[in-house]
Amino acid sequence: MNLIKSILFVGLGGAIGSIARFLISYGIGKVYTQQFPLATFLTNSIGCFLIGALYAYSIKNNLGNSYFNFLLITGFCGGFTTFSSFSYENFNLLQQNIFIPILYIFSSILVGLLFIMIGFKLFK
């Protein structure tokens, strides 16, 4: 594998994933005004599903460390999911109360794991 080509695939996928995350957050922000960070929650959940599905597809088709994986799993899903935003939002929510951040943390982890399993099973 060519390192430069791999980096370019990861970068391209990351850029597309970041733009997709921004557009989802922007669109949801236009219609949803509640305290719970729905855009990040949905983005992370969808990203977990996609990682599970793409990983299963990669295994099923014996893709290993291919440009497919670099572009879509490492790049797109890495740019699309938002763990740093998740942590920042929880830090800010903890300044106000304890219930919402606890709900957000546990539901994000459980739904994330569930969506990875579903995506993996559907595309295995």
Structural domain containing residue 103:
3-123
Residue ranges for the binding site for Na(+)? Answer: 78, 81
What is residue 100's predicted lDDT score, i.e. its pLDDT? 94
Q: Kindly give the residue spans of alpha helices, DSSP state H, lying in 1-124.
A: 3-31, 38-60, 67-68, 78-80, 83-94, 99-123
Number of domains the chain contains: 1
The pLDDT mean for the chain works out to 93
The structure's pTM equals 0.82
- Enumerate the known binding-site residues: 78, 81
pLDDT for 1 equals: 74
List the chain pLDDT tens, one digit each, 124 residues: 799 999 999 999 999 999 999 999 999 999 999 999 999 999 999 999 999 999 999 999 999 889 999 999 999 999 999 887 788 899 989 989 999 999 999 999 999 999 999 999 999 8
Question: Whole-angstrom Cα distance, residue 49 to residue 13?
Answer: 17
